[in-house]
């Protein structure tokens, strides 16, 4: 005798299926929103620099971001006591103080799209530092990615005609290398004994903001113009793009493989180029477009290799 299926049973099964699909879609949605925010964030950063000099802007931005992330700790039931403070201080100096000072200064000196792509060379510096400091040998497709990235850098930087772009390029590459060093430090901290990522990020951001405040006081820069535009930009980039964006990244990492998540972030510098073209009329030259394509393709090779499980998981992501 054939079993009859009621309409109610069909509805319940359909709703259950939709709930499952909705749950699996949430990490991807978080990743999409985060990537859009981080990509647009480079342009927002440039807008903020119209009313503030790099060091003062960086100090103000990171102060607000650090306080917001610290408030997340009790709100999510986490302890307010920092753990392993000496390790956090080292990470703070590298991943907050130096990284954000260099990247903001680079944006002030160069075009948004070029700087974003140069900073996103971080994974290649990570390979180099992991090889030297952690004994992780570069192999297989990683060499292809390194070669492509090298060609991309040559096309993007164009060393035969540096002109006024030399300082911005150097600062951006320095930011990429600093970000990579921060990633290696995070990896060593987690290898020694796993630490909660949100707590780690909140406290290292807090500690790293202190040198930024000192730098902003010490370097002679004009005062910030507290215009409505600057206040809006500061709120967007501090609370939204740095605070909320990082929480979305952690959520995506908790629910997707690190390789898969990192692959999606490749869209960030592309979004930076598109948004900069809209806001500032920046149009990359043909050679710059070739360089950006080569770097993006090299990053894709690394990410696909990570998804396949041939390389270690990438770092926890930028704080932009």
Looking at the predicted structure, is the pLDDT value of residue 159 above 80? no
Q: Rounded to an integer, what is the distance from CA 103 to the centroid of its chain?
A: 11
Q: Binning pLDDT at 50, 70 and 90, where does residue 319 land?
A: very low
pLDDT of residue 85: 93
> What pLDDT score was predicted for residue 149?
79
- CA 113/CA 288 separation, integer angstroms: 9
28-32, 80-84, 97-101: segment of lowest average pLDDT:
28-32
Q: State pLDDT tens for residues 236-272.
A: 999 888 778 877 876 776 676 555 666 666 778 888 8
Give residue-wise pLDDT tens across range 113-158.
889 888 888 877 877 877 777 677 767 777 787 788 788 888 877 7
d(CA 49, CA 206): 22
**pLDDT mean across residues, the chain:** 81
Q: What is the pLDDT of residue 1?
A: 43
pLDDT at 320 over 60: no
- pLDDT at position 210: 97
Whether the per-residue pLDDT at 273 is higher than 50: the answer is yes
Q: Residue 259 in contact with residue 296, Cβ under 8 Å?
A: no
pLDDT at 6 over 60: no
Q: Is pLDDT larger for residue 6 or for residue 153? A: 153
What is the band of 226 on the pLDDT scale with cuts at 50, 70, 90? very high
Mean pLDDT of 176-203: 86
For residue 230, what pLDDT band results from cuts at 50, 70 and 90?
Answer: very high
**Per-residue CA distances from 283 to 54, 159, 171, 172 (Å):** 23, 19, 21, 19
- Flag whether pLDDT at 315 surpasses 80: no
Question: What pLDDT, on a 0 to 100 scale, did the predictor assign at position 17?
Answer: 41
**Mean pLDDT, residues 14-35:** 63
Residues 53-94 have pLDDT tens digits of 999 999 999 999 999 999 989 998 999 999 899 999 999 999
């Amino acid at each position: 005798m054939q079993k009859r299926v009621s309409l109610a049973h069909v509805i319940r099964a359909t709703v259950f299926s939709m709930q499952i699909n909705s749950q699996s879609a949430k990490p991807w949605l978080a990743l999409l929103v985060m990537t859009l925010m981080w990509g647009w964030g480079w342009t927002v950063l440039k807008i903020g620099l119209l009313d503030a000099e790099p060091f003062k802007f960086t100090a103000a931005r990171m102060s607000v971001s650090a306080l917001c992330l610290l408030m997340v700790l009790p709100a999510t039931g986490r302890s307010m006591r920092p753990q392993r403070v000496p390790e956090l201080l080292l990470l703070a100096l590298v991943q907050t103080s130096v990284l954000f000072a260099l990247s903001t200064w680079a944006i002030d000196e160069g075009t948004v799209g070029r700087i974003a792509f140069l900073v996103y060379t971080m994974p290649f510096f990570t390979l180099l530092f992991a090889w030297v400091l952690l004994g992780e040998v570069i192999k297989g497709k990683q060499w292809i990615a390194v070669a492509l990235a090298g060609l991309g850098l040559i096309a993007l930087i164009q060393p035969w005609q540096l002109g006024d772009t030399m300082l911005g390029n150097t600062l951006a590459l320095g930011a990429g290398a600093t970000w990579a060093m921060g990633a290696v430090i995070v990896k060593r901290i987690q290898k020694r004994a796993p630490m909660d990522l949100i707590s780690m990020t909140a406290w290292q951001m807090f500690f790293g903001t202190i040198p930024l405040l000192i730098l902003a006081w010490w370097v002679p820069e004009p005062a910030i113009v507290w215009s409505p535009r600057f206040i809006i930009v500061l709120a967007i980039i501090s609370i939204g793009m740095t605070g909320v964006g990082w929480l979305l990244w952690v959520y995506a990492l908790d629910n997707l493989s690190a390789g898969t998540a990192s692959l999606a972030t490749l869209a960030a510098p592309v979004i930076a180029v598109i948004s900069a073209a809209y806001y500032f009329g920046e149009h990359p030259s043909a050679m710059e477009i070739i360089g950006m394509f080569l770097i993006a393709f090299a990053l894709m090779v690394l990410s696909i290799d990570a998804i396949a499980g041939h390389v270690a998981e990438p770092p926890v992501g930028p704080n932009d």
